[in-house]
Amino acid sequence: MSCNCKSSTLETKDPRFQQLDEIIEKYKDQSGALSPVLHEAQNVFVYLPESVQIYIAEGLNVPLSEVYGVVTFYSLFSTEPRGKYVINVCLGTACYVKGSGKIMERLKKELGVEIGGTTEDGLFTLKGCRCLGACGLAPVLTINEQVHGRLTEDDVPSLVRLYRAKEEQSVN
Residue at 39 is within a domain: yes
125 in the same domain as 163? yes
Query: What pLDDT is recorded for position 120?
Result: 94
Which residue type is seen at 169? Q
Q: CA 34, 68, 131 angle in degrees (round to 5)?
A: 90
Same domain for 95 and 22: no
Block means of pLDDT (10 residues each) for the chain, 172 residues, are 46 86 96 96 93 97 97 88 93 97 98 96 94 95 95 98 92 76
Residue 79 lies in a domain: no
CATH of the domain at 115: 3.40.30.10
pLDDT at 11: 58
The count of domains in the chain is 2
Query: Which residue range is the domain that position 29 belongs to?
Result: 9-73
Q: Which residues contact 92 (CB under 8 A, 6 or more apart)?
A: 100, 129, 130, 131, 132, 135
Q: Is residue 17 part of a domain?
A: yes
Is the pTM of the predicted complex or chain greater than 0.95? no
